[in-house]
Amino acid sequence: MLSKKKNLRKMEKSQKEITSTFGSRYFTESVPKYEMPEEGMPPRAAYQLIHEELNLDGNPALNLASFVTTWMELEADKLIMESMGKNFIDNDEYPQTSKIQDRVVNMLARLFNAPHECKSVGTGTIGSSEAIMLGLLAHKWTWKKRRQKEGKPFDKPNIVMGADVHTVWEKFALYFDVELKLIPLERDNYTITPEDVAKEIDENTICVGVVLGTTFTGQMDPIKEINQLLIEIKQTKGWDIPLHVDGASGGFIAPFVYPEMEWDFRLEQVKSINVSGHKYGLVYPGVGWLVFRDKKDLPDELIFKVNYLGGLMPNYSLNFSKGSSTIVAQYYNFLRLGKNGYKDIMKTMMANCKYMAQKLEESGKFEVINKDLMFPLVTVQLKGADFTVFELSQKLREKGWIIPAYTLPPDAQDVEVMRMVVKENFGRDMVDSLLADIMESYDGLEKSETKEKDRDNLTLLY
């Protein structure tokens, strides 16, 4: 009885505090936007102001544009909060966090089937972007060292990839001064082929980039065939060109849904793989992973040994300070879910994605571009509508759904698509709600188009 009363009093007290915030001057004055205010404000007021403003953001759960995780379990949230204050780089002060990163790398190397005789190494990153930069940089370095040793020029490195790669690959070429040999995509074939690659590679190629689950259509480059080509090139021409697999989204799907499919370290020329922990690794943003097949694929010169924070710590990264939370959270997921847990989640997502694709096709209004549906996303084109996917996407935004519309990369730039990424918390019921809203928006747009036309016709008649 007493504690009930106490609780009530506590509630009343906090109620009062909220009321006083809303009744305070902070809610009648505009918030500071350009200059840091001279004086601060009570924590509740600062919180409430920012909290209310952030309601203007989209709802992450309705955001089908992004692959990035929007939900984690309470226990993960707790671990994340507990690690918030730990700077990952201080690994002498936080040695256990550092060990946890290494365990995750070990588990990933095995998940990606690194051969037993290899000593795989790797690192946690802010995301796949940093991982890709670091992976490619290592290959550039290896190539340069080899050329130098052979007494050959090393001033014209190039990198070969398809236009289906993520924008970060082009960023790498620009920032690290490597010639970009971008293979255009054909209409109806939105990936590259081994023949395309054969035409572009030469002795100056530092690496060939392939994608497991492209951002545009969720398809996969023919990695096994390209690996075969590079093996033949190595035998006939002596060029040992590594393959880097961008498994940003696919790297956590393929091992669980297609364990037999060879795309990883089972292929001889695959020397490095990146994967986004914050995509289907099921961790909040930002965590990514880079794994090298073997220690020798990461040149020693690139590993920095900083000694002023205590012990000597080897480090391969672009950033210095960063949080530890997401690395801890990744480990939590590995322990909590295990392989079977991941498998169940991936299979559920795939089932919901297939259901959505099937319903969209059946409606007769859409054509699914990624018919093989290897990864849990659906990319569709409109079939003979009088309006565009851009208008439909806009219409859906009015209902809260965030679904991007865009054109495909060259030479398929005339193909306009809409893409929906299915995440773990997007259940069957949500799929049905989305489908209903898509159909309603479609009909709405169709009606307004017809009205428009009728009006045009009337004008003509008079």
Site residues (vs ligand PLP, CB under 6 A)? 67, 127-129, 166, 168, 211, 215, 246, 248-249, 276, 288
Q: Which is nearer to ligand PLP, 97 or 274 (CB)?
A: 274
Nearer to ligand PLP, 134 or 233 (CB): 134
CB of 169 to ligand PLP, least distance (A): 8
Nearer to ligand PLP, 91 or 249 (CB): 249
**Residue 87: how many other CB atoms lie within 10 Å:** 15
Min dist. Cβ of residue 128 to ligand PLP (A): 3
Q: How many residues does the structure list for the chain?
A: 462
Minimum distance from residue 248 beta carbon to ligand PLP (Å) = 3
Q: How far is the CB of 68 from ligand PLP (least distance, A)?
A: 7
Helices (H), 155-296: 167-175, 194-200, 223-237, 254-257
Burial letters 33-71, b for 16+ CB under 10 A, else e: eeeeeeeebeeebeebbeeeeeeeeeeeebbbbbbbbbe
165 vs 201, beta carbon nearer ligand PLP: 165
Q: Is the peptide bond before 411 cis (omega within 30 degrees of 0)?
A: yes
Residue 425: exposure state from Cβ atoms within 10 A (0-12, 13-18, ≥19)? middle
User: What does the alpha-carbon distance between residue 130 and residue 135 come to, in Å, rounded to a whole number?
Assistant: 9
Shortest spacing between CB 5 and ligand PLP, in angstroms = 51
**CA 285 – CA 276 distance, rounded (Å):** 9
- What is the DSSP track for 67-125? -S-----HHHHHHHHHHTT-BTT-TTTSHHHHHHHHHHHHHHHHHTT--TTS--EEEEE
Dihedral angle, C-alpha 401, 280, 165, 162, nearest 10 °:
-120
Minimum gap (Å) between residue 75 Cβ and ligand PLP: 24
Q: How far apart are CA 418 and CA 98, in angstroms?
A: 41
The nearer residue to ligand PLP, 84 or 318, going by C-beta atoms, is: 318
In angstroms, give the least distance from the CB of 394 to ligand PLP. Answer: 24
Residue closer to ligand PLP by CB (options 278, 293) is 278
Distance CA 422, CA 410 (A): 26
Q: How many CB atoms lie within 10 A of CB 301?
A: 8
Helix/strand/coil for 220: strand
Enter the tokens of residue 379. 């990319």
**Which residue number, 45 or 208, has a Cβ lying nearer to ligand PLP?**
208
Residue (196 or 246) nearer to ligand PLP, CB: 246
**Distance in Å, CB of 73 to ligand PLP, minimum:** 21
Q: How far is the CB of 279 from ligand PLP (least distance, A)?
A: 6
Q: Which is nearer to ligand PLP, 168 or 328 (CB)?
A: 168
DSSP, res 314: E
Residue type, 142: T
